[in-house]
């Protein structure tokens, strides 16, 4: 690994690190003909709807140039497969229509992925860099003796990828010589595939024999009318400065006026002002909305790691020297308890 370039033009730029060949395990040789390339994308879904991040992952897969197959699993798979079949770039949809795949337990999904990869001969296997993708793909990579490449934001060619490291403060260029590339994709770095008029073929696959050591017991899903934080077009986030649960309501009111999602800094989450599912940053959600409004947030690098790719950033902070203003396109210096209610009312 060596540092190939370092830019210092502000917090929205990165050091670039190049690391060659992360193949620790396999001596299977390189794919050297584009004609042999083909991709398999694991499609996430909930309530019979494709997870939006999978649309970005499918787009990333089309960049390799070869045919793209999509795997849909679970008891709602058939309905979701019909939607996936109408997506641009998808040549074939493979369906594992079996309730055993509900809840996406890694120990069950990884062997399925391995079986489908073998059948399709896919050279690239991709999933979103979501909690599901991050669970399943490492296990799948281990099964096929490959090295996973995580959280890619750019595809340079069929074996070279760019990914952020050090909380997004450096970009690493990774070249893999594994025969089968196992990749998780940062959804905010790629557009979504469009729909097409025709439908690609859908084919069934059977579940491989697996003996699971874990059982799915249940889940508590937090329901809300607001858009999903990770894919929202507008995000309004509050920081430590809101001071209380009641103070955080100021943030929620502005988000509701704008039809946006609510986010938070870790300090606000740790202080108990809001739920930890709202945390944006290195250890929270990565977002890149059209508009991100940071209110009473200082702009620590761990927070910036989760939102600095937002298209327009607005910061409201009483300290004009706060680092958040270095990444902000628009800044308002003042007390949030005065500015935000006024802004909400005027909107
Ligand atoms: C390993 C690790 C991982 C982390 N992961 C994350 C992460 O994922 N996400 C994250 O957010 N943080 C993360 N952190 C924490 C991060 O370092 C910061 O501590 C945190 O982001 C600070 O939150 P804050 O900006 O809300 O609070 P502060 O840094 O305390 O900033 C509060 C800001 O509010 C302003 N302010 C105060 N009163 C007012 C007012 N009345 N009106 C307007 N402005 C006001 C202040 O000027 C200040 O800029 C992580 C830290 C570590 C070590």
Per residue of the chain (347 residues), give pLDDT as tens: 222 332 333 344 444 555 544 443 333 333 445 558 999 999 999 889 999 999 999 999 999 999 999 999 999 899 999 999 999 999 999 999 999 999 999 999 999 999 999 999 999 999 999 999 999 999 999 999 999 999 999 999 999 999 998 877 889 999 999 999 999 999 989 999 999 999 999 999 987 887 788 888 988 877 778 888 988 999 999 999 999 999 999 999 999 999 999 999 999 999 999 999 999 999 999 999 999 999 999 999 999 999 999 999 999 999 999 999 999 999 999 999 999 999 999 99
Q: Do 199 and 241 sit in the same domain of this protein? A: no
Q: Are residues 16 and 87 in the same domain?
A: yes
Q: Measure 240 CA to ligand 1 centroid, in angstroms.
A: 6
- Rounded to 5 degrees, φ, ψ at 264 are -155, 160
Q: Which CATH number characterizes residue 272's domain? A: 3.40.50.1220
62 and 160 both lie in a single domain: yes
Give a yes or no: residue 170 inside a domain. Answer: yes
Residue 338 lies in a domain: yes
321 CA to middle of ligand 1, Å?
Answer: 14
Indicate whether 248 belongs to any domain.
Answer: yes
Ligand 1 pocket, Cβ-based, cut-off 6 angstroms: 239-241, 265-268, 279-284, 296-298, 300, 302-303, 306, 317-319, 322, 335-337
- pLDDT score recorded for residue 21: 40
Shortest-distance Cα residue to atom 35 of ligand 1: 296
- Examine residue 110 and state whether it is found in any structural domain, yes or no: yes
Asked whether residue 171 falls in the same domain as residue 75, the answer is yes
Question: How far is 291 from 121, CA to CA, in rounded Å?
Answer: 41
Residue 117 sits in a domain of what CATH number? 3.40.50.620
Say yes or no: 171 and 245 in one domain: no
124 in the same domain as 251:
no
Residue at 217 is within a domain? no
How many angstroms separate the CA atoms of 170 and 75, rounded?
41
Joined tokens for residue 75: 């008891």
Do residues 180 and 316 both lie within one domain? no
Same-domain pairing of 321 and 182: no
Provide the domain count of the chain. 2
d(CA 28, CA 73): 29
The C-alpha R_g of the chain, in whole angstroms, comes to 21
CB-facing half-sphere around the CA of 1: CA atoms within 13 A: 10
Same domain? For 24 and 130 the reply is yes
Q: Let me know: does 229 contact 280? Beta carbons within 8 Å.
A: yes
> How far is the C-alpha of 43 from the C-alpha of 215, rounded, in Å?
22
Residues 191 and 96 placed together within one structural domain of the fold: yes
CA 160 to chain centroid: 19
- Pick from 302, 322, 335 the residue to mutate for probing ligand 1's pocket: most ligand atoms within 8 Å of its CB: 302
Ligand 1 midpoint to CA 75 (Å): 42
| Contact in structure between 199 and 86 (CB atoms under 8 Å) | yes
The number of CA neighbours under 13 Å toward the Cβ of 263 is 32
Residue located nearest, by CA, to atom 53 of ligand 1: 302
Say yes or no: 164 and 237 in one domain: no
Tokens (6 digits) for 330: 């628009």
Within a domain: residue 145? yes
Which residue, by CA, sits nearest to atom 49 of ligand 1?
Answer: 298
User: Alpha-carbon distance 342 to 98, whole Å?
Assistant: 53
In a domain, 209, yes or no: no
Query: Which residue, by CA, sits nearest to atom 48 of ligand 1?
Result: 298
Give the structural domain span for 106: 2-204
**Strand, coil or helix: what is 53?**
helix
Q: Identify whether residues 50 and 179 lie together within a single domain.
A: yes
Whether 120 maps to a domain, the answer reads: yes
For every residue of 276-303, DSSP letters joined together read GGGBBSTTSB----SEEEEES----HHH
């Amino acid at each position: 690994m060596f540092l190939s370039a370092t830019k210092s033009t502000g917090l929205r730029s990165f050091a670039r690190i190049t690391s060659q060949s992360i193949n620790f395990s396999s001596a299977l040789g390189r794919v050297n003909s584009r004609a042999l390339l083909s991709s398999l994308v694991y499609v996430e879904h909930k309530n019979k709807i494709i997870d939006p991040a999978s649309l970005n992952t499918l787009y990333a897969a089309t960049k390799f140039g070869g045919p793209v197959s999509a795997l849909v699993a679970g008891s709602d798979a058939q309905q979701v497969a019909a939607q996936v079949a109408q997506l641009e770039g998808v040549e074939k949809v493979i369906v594992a229509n079996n309730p055993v795949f509900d809840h996406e337990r890694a120990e069950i999904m990884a062997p399925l992925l391995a079986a489908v990869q073998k059948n399709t001969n896919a050279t690239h296997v991709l999933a979103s860099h979501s909690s599901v993708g991050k669970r399943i793909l490492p296990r799948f990579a281990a099964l096929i003796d490959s090295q996973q490449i995580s959280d890619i934001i750019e595809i340079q060619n069929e074996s070279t990828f760019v990914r952020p490291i050090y909380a997004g403060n450096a970009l690493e260029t990774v070249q893999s010589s594994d025969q089968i590339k196992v990749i998780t994709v940062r959804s905010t770095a790629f557009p979504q595939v469009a729909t097409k008029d025709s439908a690609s073929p859908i084919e069934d696959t059977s579940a491989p024999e697996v003996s699971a050591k874990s059982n799915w017991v249940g889940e508590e899903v937090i329901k809300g009318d607001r858009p999903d934080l990770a894919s929202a077009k507008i995000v309004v986030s509050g920081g430590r400065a809101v001071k209380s649960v009641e103070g955080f309501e100021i943030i929620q009111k502005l988000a509701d006026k704008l039809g946006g999602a609510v986010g938070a800094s870790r300090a606000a989450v740790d202080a108990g002002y809001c739920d930890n599912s709202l945390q944006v940053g290195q250890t929270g959600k990565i977002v890149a909305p059209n508009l991100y409004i940071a209110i009473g947030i200082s702009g620590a690098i761990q927070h910036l790691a989760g939102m600095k790719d937002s298209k327009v950033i607005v910061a409201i902070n009483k300290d004009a020297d706060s680092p958040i203003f270095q990444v902000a396109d628009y800044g308002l210096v003042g007390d949030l308890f005065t500015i935000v209610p006024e802004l909400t009312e005027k909107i």
